[in-house]
Amino acid sequence: MLGNIDAVANLAVKDMTVARRFYEDTLGLAQVDAEGDEVIVYRSGNTRIQVYRSSFAGTNQATAVSWQVGADIGRLVAALKAKGVRFEHYDMPDTKREGDLHVADGMKMAWFKDPDGNILHLIGG
């Protein structure tokens, strides 16, 4: 039923100005739409990420958005770290850490949070 229809990721934030700086300046996403001061829609590849103001921002304790970045993961982690992004470190079974990367079965992963605590995830190989 919905398998052929594009979906949009939604991220709740408290402060749209802070969110705009993070998503545009730090992550390099391009704004494609907005609804006043309450919603900003960004393009990420062929998908959309909708950032919206909510009093519930910061309550999600799970990964909210993942990007498949392939072999660029090390370069992207270094570039984000140079922009002040702090990476999360998790204890996971059958996974070893190499700096900010978690490595398991040839897959490399890194997690970081936006200013509201939304967990963002890079996946590479």
> Do the beta carbons of residue 23 and residue 10 sit within 8 Å?
no
CATH number reported for the structural domain that contains residue 111 in this entry: 3.10.180.10
What distance in Å separates the CA atoms of residue 11 and residue 84, rounded to the nearest whole number? Answer: 20
For residue 41, tell me if it sits in a domain: yes
Model pLDDT for residues 82-92, shown as the tens digit of each residue: 999 999 999 99
Residue 102 burial (10 A CB sphere; 0-12, 13-18, 19+): buried
What distance in Å separates the CA atoms of residue 52 and residue 34, rounded to the nearest whole number? Answer: 10
> Do the beta carbons of residue 64 and residue 119 sit within 8 Å?
yes
Model pLDDT for residues 29-82, shown as the tens digit of each residue: 999 999 989 999 999 999 999 999 999 999 999 999 999 999 999 999 999 999
Residue ranges making up the domain that contains 55: 8-124
For residue 17, tell me if it sits in a domain: yes
Number of domains the chain is built from: 1
For residue 100, tell me if it sits in a domain: yes
Question: Residue 122, Cα to own-chain centre: how many angstroms?
Answer: 7
For residue 27, tell me if it sits in a domain: yes
For residue 2, tell me if it sits in a domain: no
Pairing of strands 8-13, 47-53: parallel
List all residues 6 or more positions away from 88 whose beta carbon is below 8 Å from its beta carbon. Answer: 111, 112, 113, 119
pTM summary value: 0.93
